[in-house]
Amino acid sequence: MDLPDAPPEQGMTRTYVLVIVCHAAVITLLWLFGRIFSH
Amino acid sequence: MHLLDWFVVVGYLLWIVIDGLRRTKGATEVEGYFLAHRSLPWWAVGLSVMATQLSAITLVGTTGQAYADGMRFIQFYFGLPIAMVILSMTLVPFFYRSGVYTAYEYLERRFDVKTRTLASVLFLMGRSMSTGAIISAPAVILSIIFHWNLTLTILAIGVPTIVYTMFGGVQAVTWTDVKQMGVVIGGLICAVVALIVGLPHDVSVYRALHIAGTAGRMNTIDFHFDPNQTYTFWSGILGGLFLHLSYFGCDQSQVQRYLTAKSLNQARSSLLMSAFVKVPLQVLVLMVGVFMFLFYVFNPPPMLFNAQHRDEVARSARAGEFHALETDFQRAFDARRSAAAALASGSEGDRAAAQDAFRQASGDMRTIRAKASALVGDISGGQGYNESTGDTPKNDVNYVFPTFVTTSLPPGLVGLIIAAIFAAAMSATAGELSATSSATVMDIYRRLIRPEAPDAHYLAVSRLATAFWGLVACVVAHVAVQLGSLIEVVNRIGSIFYGSLLGVFVLALTFRRATGTGAFVGLLTGIVAVVIFAFSPATRSVSYLWHNPIGVGVVLVVGIVVSLFTAPRTAP
């Protein structure tokens, strides 16, 4: 069976970008949190 | 346990079973039973996805891990949000649009029936074992803490779950998961609040967290690249990425959840909900462990949290030795508490000296605990206690949270937390039962044994399969207790399948020339390669998070090479 073509994203791209940005922010906060209280 | 706590726990169990049974209306056909007629909202599916992943082992084990080792476990989840985005863009649309019941059904459409069957059988083998572990770990801990009968505790978790999953299908599983997640999150928040309120009046939360940092409990991120370290930024973001891609993309217990969503975008949103919420939720779980550590900085902890081990030593010929260690432990605790008080209230100059005293006393306590642990190991012939095995039911850190709850929280709240432990175990078990039942019926029974039968027949078989796998889980849970550290090996074998399964799906999606024989041989080779890697002396110490990328790589290379030498399937 041939695979269907890659599906259109239907407006989810912004959400994906938001997920990655928020995740990077959470990791940065956790790193800061660790540094503040470990030193 | 106080009468009020019994009321809360029994009330919770009745509420969940009755609520689950009310959902049987939608489960009168196979599609309703396994896919809820694709009618569920994204937020309910998203909570169900998280509930299936969050078992009682997570709740009890992770809080204990944070108590002993701090926040570093959070790095395990760093690959999860990225995995959710990749899956939402790739596998989820293919699964959803092709109208499959199981993830492995897609492999037959793409390759052939033998690849589908092998993947489904691997899933069933791994999940039937791990579902037993999901039930056995909290059952052992609760039975020791409350002196409950172990068999009855296993049945108290297993039977209500089997009843509502068997009759209500995936719809009952999802809606009870929503409520169970509420109970779990509510219980965790209450525990954190109780722990903060329980700090001494002259110690602020800010100062308390500095004390936790002095003891190494606030090390959140480790950027060193060391494959032998289980939790580092790199193992989390790369190894964890592959693990979560495999778990959420190829494990029927998760795929089935998002196949029940109303639309493709709702299915994607349900996964992305985990991407936003999972890391903060794990921070909450780990903070319970860190605040428990702080609680036991100012309040005397038992030298060993497992009361059964304490009793065993107290009855043995070496009881005197154990009591001497307890006296030393109490002395070290007093020294650490004084140092902590100085850390919380002293001037900058005093704090430097207090920090050294705190670390010295903490080291002494750790050494004494290790001696006590070795004593328990000696008494039980080395079989009963071995922290290094990580054996879930017996590892002492798993008793920290239940011990704190039962000895330090007021009546009512104890019942709520015990209900939360039940909720975590039941929601994870229910998701697994529904998934193993769907794989058994759709991939094995309907595909290979009886292809033509009325829908009512498949529905009846599905219910029987749910009950069968539920009973298997209860039996495995009981046997797992006797297996001791062997259960750790069983769990490790389960995690070995994940990378290779993901490799087959990646092969299907990225290499158009891939053949069924290439996928089948690639899958088998990937599993054998990871087994050799996981158990050979030279590579055994490498973190299990790296097994997944290795499995994916081997399946892709072997799958592509074999595909180039085998004929592709011709269109019918």
pLDDT of B176-186, one tens digit each? 999 999 999 99
pLDDT of residue B175: 92
CATH fold group of domain B3-287+414-449+460-482: Sodium/glucose cotransporter (1.20.1730)
C-beta atoms surrounding B454 within 10 Å: 8
DSSP string computed for B262-327: SSHHHHHHHHHHHHHHHHHHHHHHHHHHHHHHHHHHHSPPPSSS-HHHHHHHHHSTTHHHHHHHHH
| Cα dist from B246 to B87, B278, B445, B497, whole Å | 10, 17, 25, 9
| Cα dist from B189 to B167, B183, B213, B281, B294, whole Å | 32, 10, 22, 10, 17
Among B77, B220, B279, pick the best mutation site for testing chain A contact (most A Cβ within 10 A). Answer: B220
The alpha-carbon gap from A37 to the nearest alpha carbon of chain B, in Å, equals 5
Nearest CA in chain B to A5: B94
Average pLDDT over residues B89-112: 90
Q: Do B571 and A1 touch (CB under 8 A)?
A: yes
pLDDT of residue B464: 96
Nearest CA in chain B to A11: B265
The alpha-carbon gap from B156 to the nearest alpha carbon of chain A, in Å, equals 38
Taking CB atoms and an 8 Å cutoff, what residues of chain B touch A7?
Answer: 93-94, 97, 264
Instruction: Check CB contact of B508 with chain A, cutoff 8 Å.
Output: yes
Distance CA B15, CA A35 (A): 44
Out of A4, A16, A27, the one facing B78 most closely (by C-beta) is: A27
Tokens 């997640």 belong to B181
Tokens 């985990």 belong to B274
pLDDT of residue B137: 81
Among A9, A17, A20, A27, pick the best mutation site for testing chain B contact (most B Cβ within 10 A). Answer: A27
Out of B85, B213, B265, the one facing A37 most closely (by C-beta) is: B213
Task: For residue B348, give every residue at least 6 positions away whose Cβ sits within 8 Å of its Cβ, in sequence order, or none.
Answer: none
- Whether residue B350 has pLDDT greater than 90: no
Grouping H, G, I as helix, E, B as strand and the rest as coil, residue B490 is: helix
pLDDT of residue B387: 42
Instruction: Check CB contact of B86 with chain A, cutoff 8 Å.
Output: no
Contact by Cβ (8 Å): B138, B60: yes
Nearest CA in chain A to B75: A27
pLDDT of residue B54: 85
pLDDT in tens, B240-268: 898 889 889 988 999 999 999 999 999 99
Q: What ranges do the domains of chain A cover?
A: 13-39
What pTM did the predictor assign?
0.86
pLDDT in tens, B357-404: 999 999 999 899 888 888 887 777 654 444 433 444 457 788 888 889
Distance CA B414, CA B418 (A): 6
Query: Residue B261 forms beta bridges with which residues?
Result: B40
pLDDT of residue A2: 42
Q: Do B81 and A23 touch (CB under 8 A)?
A: yes
- Complex ipTM > 0.90: no
Side-chain half-sphere of B464: how many Cα atoms within 13 Å?
8
Distance CA B402, CA A11 (A): 46
Out of B94, B221, B508, the one facing A34 most closely (by C-beta) is: B221
Distance CA B309, CA B322 (A): 11
Q: Do A27 and B272 touch (CB under 8 A)?
A: no
- Write out B437-460 in H/E/C secondary structure: HHHHHHHHHHHHHCCCCCHHHHHH
pLDDT in tens, B275-323: 999 999 999 999 999 999 999 999 999 988 888 888 888 888 888 888 8
pLDDT of residue B447: 93
Phi-psi map region of B320: left, alpha, beta (phi>0 left; psi -120 to 50 alpha)? alpha
Distance CA B449, CA B462 (A): 14
Q: Which region among B92-106, B136-150, B204-218 has the lowest average model confidence (pLDDT)?
A: B136-150
The alpha-carbon gap from B572 to the nearest alpha carbon of chain A, in Å, equals 9
Task: For residue B245, give every residue at least 6 positions away whose Cβ sits within 8 Å of its Cβ, in sequence order, or none.
Answer: B79, B83, B86, B87, B502, B548
The alpha-carbon gap from A16 to the nearest alpha carbon of chain B, in Å, equals 6
Could you tell me the sign of the dihedral formed by the alpha carbons of B74, B88, B47, B439, in that order?
negative
Taking CB atoms and an 8 Å cutoff, what residues of chain B touch A2?
Answer: 512, 571
Average pLDDT over residues B196-213: 90
Among B69, B84, B89, pick the best mutation site for testing chain A contact (most A Cβ within 10 A). Answer: B89
Average pLDDT over residues B453-482: 90
- Write out B101-153 in H/E/C secondary structure: CCHHHHHHHHCCHHHHHHHHHHHHHHHHHHHHHHHHHHHHHHHHHHCCCHHHH
Instruction: Check CB contact of B519 with chain A, cutoff 8 Å.
Output: no
- Whether residue B549 has pLDDT greater than 90: no
- Whether residue B36 has pLDDT greater than 70: yes
Taking CB atoms and an 8 Å cutoff, what residues of chain A touch B269?
Answer: 15
Instruction: Check CB contact of B210 with chain A, cutoff 8 Å.
Output: yes
Distance CA B52, CA B464 (A): 21
pLDDT in tens, B407-463: 889 999 999 999 999 898 999 899 999 999 999 999 999 999 999 889 999 999 999
Out of B219, B272, B512, the one facing A34 most closely (by C-beta) is: B219
Widest CA span in chain A: 59
**What is the radius of gyration, based on Cα positions, of chain B?**
25
- Whether residue B570 has pLDDT greater than 90: no
pLDDT of residue B546: 80
The alpha-carbon gap from B488 to the nearest alpha carbon of chain A, in Å, equals 30
**Ranked by mean pLDDT, which of B222-226, B458-462, B480-484 comes out on top?**
B458-462
How sure is the predictor about B494, in pLDDT bands with cuts at 50, 70 and 90? low
Q: Do B275 and A7 touch (CB under 8 A)?
A: no
How sure is the predictor about B346, in pLDDT bands with cuts at 50, 70 and 90? low
C-beta atoms surrounding B267 within 10 Å: 27
Among A9, A16, A29, pick the best mutation site for testing chain B contact (most B Cβ within 10 A). Answer: A16
Give contacts of B 262-281 with A, CB under 8 A: 264-265, 268-269, 272, 275-276, 279-280
Q: Do A19 and B276 touch (CB under 8 A)?
A: yes
- Whether residue B489 has pLDDT greater than 60: no
C-beta atoms surrounding A4 within 10 Å: 10
How sure is the predictor about B23, in pLDDT bands with cuts at 50, 70 and 90? confident
pLDDT of residue B392: 43
The alpha-carbon gap from A6 to the nearest alpha carbon of chain B, in Å, equals 8
